[in-house]
């Protein structure tokens, strides 16, 4: 199998030996029916691997179902995975097939498998060993033929030692282990990835792509990337959207690499040493704070835009086209773009969100979030409201995984009533 064509098919960027080795193992194991356990830090690109394994297996025409075990509440996970019978619990008005039934003949990707409750682990072990499962509320065993690919960003061995993960299940899942290396161990891929993300966003918003000076490139490559490729992608997109200059020097880049900036370190203190689990939690918190800051910046810009529009209307006595002072950024869809990119397209000015802003949306003085928790809470509630409670979309908006969002919702005690949409 030509590795290059696989990368092209899945949009995988990178050519370092560590990445290539992991991809080669996935391709070699794909035609077998062996269980595969993919491990790697958050944001390294683990999700490509089960897709590759499915696509290059004899099951490729069967269903592929990806399940985020950390995003499903404990009370419903058995029913989601294995189905339930009518009346088996309050609210079970109909019987329902679970993913293992639906994926018969195909592949199931169990992301964050370490988050499965122990009782569900027992059911999973059974289906892996015998192909048998029982719907919740039934006593009849059913057969299914599913290949399982699992992923984890926690050390499952430690979870076994702590009694949170069954040892027998660990060995059963770990038949073929694939370790996806962190970005800091793939230095040669960093600039390639940055260029790709910068080019993509430039094409999406019809603007010239950003480029790095030689020194900035060195800085980018020597950074430790605690949030891995996901963080690199965010940084490339943030710089593309926020900076007016297209040639990025170290001074600009530094502002987007949290370890380098005093301001960001004050906002969210980073642990002195890298390598601990808390590092990723902090990366996540930083992402949420960044998002919040960008949103606030966007809102302020929108308000400035409204004022400019009002002033212009007063002078001209009306008119539809809106123009902005050169220094103001404008918001197009979800992205905040420097006004340099708000060029007339098809003869008219690009529609901005400014007209949709109402007085209720404006942040009032004195209402700025005071603590990190409040700021995160605010950002999460806003995102959930915006997407009417849909966690997948909200997580994407916040640049965090769905599982992390789920954990944050629990940690911060965000209730359905808080998301009045
Ligand atoms: N080599 C790569 N080439 C292009 N894009 C990549 C690459 N690796 C990761 N990405 C992108 O980075 C983002 C994060 O990847 P992904 O969701 O697969 O991470 P993950 O390891 O599953 O993280 P988590 O454990 O938090 O779910 C995605 O947008 C993905 O498309």
Q: In this predicted model, what pLDDT tens digit does every residue of 246-266 receive, in sequence order? A: 999 999 999 999 865 433 333
Among the candidates 240, 255, 270, a domain finishes at 270
User: Would residue 310 count as lying in a domain?
Assistant: no
Residue 383's pLDDT is 87
Q: What value does the mean pLDDT of the chain take?
A: 79
Task: Give the closest residue (by CA) to ligand 1 atom 22.
Answer: 46
Residues 56, 153 share a domain: yes
**How far is Cα 34 from Cα 30, in angstroms, rounded to an integer?**
8
> Of 54, 240, 211, whose CA–CA distance to 148 is shortest?
54
- Average pLDDT of the segment spanning 284-312: 60
Q: Provide the pLDDT confidence category of residue 311 given band limits of 50, 70 and 90.
A: low
Pocket flag, ligand 1, residue 284 (CB < 6 Å): no
User: How much of the chain exceeds pLDDT 90, in percent?
Assistant: 56
**How far is Cα 39 from Cα 110, in angstroms, rounded to an integer?**
12
User: Would residue 298 count as lying in a domain?
Assistant: no
Range of lowest pLDDT (143-157, 217-231, 304-318): 304-318
Residue 253's pLDDT is 95
Residues 248, 218 share a domain: yes
Residues 175, 84 share a domain: yes
The angle that helices 214-222 and 187-204 make with each other, rounded to 10 degrees, is 120
* pLDDT at 86 > cutoff 80: yes
User: Would residue 359 count as lying in a domain?
Assistant: no
Count of domains observed in the chain: 3
* pLDDT at 93 > cutoff 70: yes
Range of lowest pLDDT (33-47, 55-69, 102-116, 296-310): 296-310
Render pLDDT for 27-56 as a digit per residue (tens, 0 to 9).
Answer: 999 999 999 999 999 999 999 999 999 999
Where do runs of H (alpha helix) occur along 48-186? Answer: 48-55, 74-82, 99-102, 118-130, 156-161, 167-173
* CATH number of 208's domain: 1.10.8.60
* CATH number of 401's domain: 1.10.10
User: Would residue 138 count as lying in a domain?
Assistant: yes
**Strands 141-143 and 132-134, bridge-based pairing:** antiparallel
- Average pLDDT of the segment spanning 265-285: 39
Residues 382, 262 share a domain: no
* pLDDT at 286 > cutoff 70: no
Residue 350's pLDDT is 26
Residue 340's pLDDT is 25
**How far is Cα 123 from Cα 196, in angstroms, rounded to an integer?**
42
Residues 171, 92 share a domain: yes
Q: Provide the pLDDT confidence category of residue 317 given band limits of 50, 70 and 90.
A: very low
Residues 204, 67 share a domain: no
User: Would residue 332 count as lying in a domain?
Assistant: no
Given a contact cutoff of 8 angstroms between Cβ atoms, the answer to whether 77 and 117 are in contact is yes
Among the candidates 270, 285, 318, a domain finishes at 270
Pocket flag, ligand 1, residue 47 (CB < 6 Å): yes
Pocket flag, ligand 1, residue 44 (CB < 6 Å): yes
Residue 104's pLDDT is 97
What SS3 class is residue 211? Answer: strand
Residue 52's pLDDT is 98
Residues 217, 165 share a domain: no
Higher pLDDT, 390 or 113: 113
Q: Distance, CA 258 to ligand 1 centroid (Å)? A: 20
Residue 339's pLDDT is 28
User: Would residue 33 count as lying in a domain?
Assistant: yes
Residues 201, 87 share a domain: no
Given a contact cutoff of 8 angstroms between Cβ atoms, the answer to whether 283 and 404 are in contact is no
Task: Give the closest residue (by CA) to ligand 1 atom 5.
Answer: 12
User: Would residue 143 count as lying in a domain?
Assistant: yes
* CATH number of 8's domain: 3.40.50.300
Residues 160, 64 share a domain: yes
**Encoding tokens for residue 269?**
């203190």
Residues 194, 61 share a domain: no
User: How much of the chain exceeds pLDDT 70, in percent?
Assistant: 73
Q: What angle do CA 338, 393, 352 make, to 5 degrees?
A: 30
Residue 16's pLDDT is 95
Q: Distance, CA 395 to ligand 1 centroid (Å)? A: 14
* pLDDT at 268 > cutoff 60: no
Q: Provide the pLDDT confidence category of residue 309 given band limits of 50, 70 and 90.
A: low
Residue 391's pLDDT is 84
**Encoding tokens for residue 371?**
């603590």
Residues 114, 56 share a domain: yes
Residues 171, 30 share a domain: yes
The angle that helices 3-10 and 17-29 make with each other, rounded to 10 degrees, is 90
- Average pLDDT of the segment spanning 11-17: 96
Among the candidates 255, 270, 285, a domain finishes at 270
Task: Give the closest residue (by CA) to ligand 1 atom 30.
Answer: 45
Ligand 1, residues 4, 14, 43: which to mutate, most atoms within 8 A of Cβ?
43
> Of 181, 184, 177, whose CA–CA distance to 157 is shortest?
177
Ligand 1, residues 230, 402, 404: which to mutate, most atoms within 8 A of Cβ?
230
Pocket flag, ligand 1, residue 7 (CB < 6 Å): no
User: Would residue 257 count as lying in a domain?
Assistant: yes
Residue 98's pLDDT is 96
- List the domain range (segments joined by +) for residue 156: 3-181
Render pLDDT for 334-384 as a digit per residue (tens, 0 to 9).
Answer: 333 332 222 222 322 222 233 233 333 434 444 554 677 888 888 899 889
Residue 123's pLDDT is 97
């Amino acid at each position: 199998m030509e590795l290059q064509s696989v990368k092209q098919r899945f949009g995988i960027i990178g050519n370092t030996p560590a990445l290539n080795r992991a991809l080669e193992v996935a391709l070699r194991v794909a035609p077998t029916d062996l269980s595969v356990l993919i491990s790697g830090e958050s944001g390294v690109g683990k999700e490509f691997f089960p897709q590759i394994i499915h696509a290059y297996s004899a099951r490729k025409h069967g269903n592929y179902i990806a399940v985020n075990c950390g995003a499903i509440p404990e009370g419903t996970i058995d029913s989601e995975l294995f189905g339930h019978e009518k009346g088996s619990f309050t609210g079970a008005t109909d019987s329902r097939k679970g993913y293992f039934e639906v994926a018969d003949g195909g592949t199931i990707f169990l992301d964050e498998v370490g988050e499965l409750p122990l009782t569900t682990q027992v059911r999973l072990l059974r289906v892996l060993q015998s192909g048998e499962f029982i719907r919740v509320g039934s006593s009849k065993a059913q057969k299914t033929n599913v290949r399982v690919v699992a992923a984890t960003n926690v050390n499952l061995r430690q979870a076994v030692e702590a009694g949170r993960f069954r040892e027998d299940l660990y060995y059963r899942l770990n038949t073929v282990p694939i370790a996806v290396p962190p970005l800091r161990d793939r230095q040669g891929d960093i600039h390639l990835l940055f260029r790709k993300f910068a080019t993509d966003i430039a094409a999406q918003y019809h603007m010239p792509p950003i480029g790095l000076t030689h020194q900035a490139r060195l800085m980018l490559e020597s950074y430790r990337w605690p949030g891995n490729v996901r963080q690199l992608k965010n940084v490339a997109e943030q710089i593309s959207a926020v900076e007016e200059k297209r040639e990025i020097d170290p001074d600009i880049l530094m502002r987007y690499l949290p370890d380098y900036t005093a301001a960001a370190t004050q906002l969210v203190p980073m642990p002195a040493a890298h390598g601990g689990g808390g590092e990723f939690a902090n990366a996540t918190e930083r992402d949420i704070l960044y998002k919040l800051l960008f949103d606030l910046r966007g809102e302020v810009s929108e308000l400035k835009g409204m004022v400019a529009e009002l002033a212009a209307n007063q002078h001209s006595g009306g008119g539809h086209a809106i123009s902005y002072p050169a220094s103001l950024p404008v918001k197009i869809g979800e992205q905040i773009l420097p006004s340099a990119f708000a060029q007339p397209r098809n003869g008219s000015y690009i529609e901005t969100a400014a007209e949709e802003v109402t007085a209720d949306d404006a942040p009032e003085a004195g209402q700025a979030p005071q603590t990190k928790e409040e700021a995160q809470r605010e950002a999460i509630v806003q995102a959930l409201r915006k997407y009417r409670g849909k966690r997948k979309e909200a997580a994407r908006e916040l640049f965090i995984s769905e599982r992390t969002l789920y954990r944050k919702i629990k940690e911060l005690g965000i209730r359905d009533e808080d998301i009045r949409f």
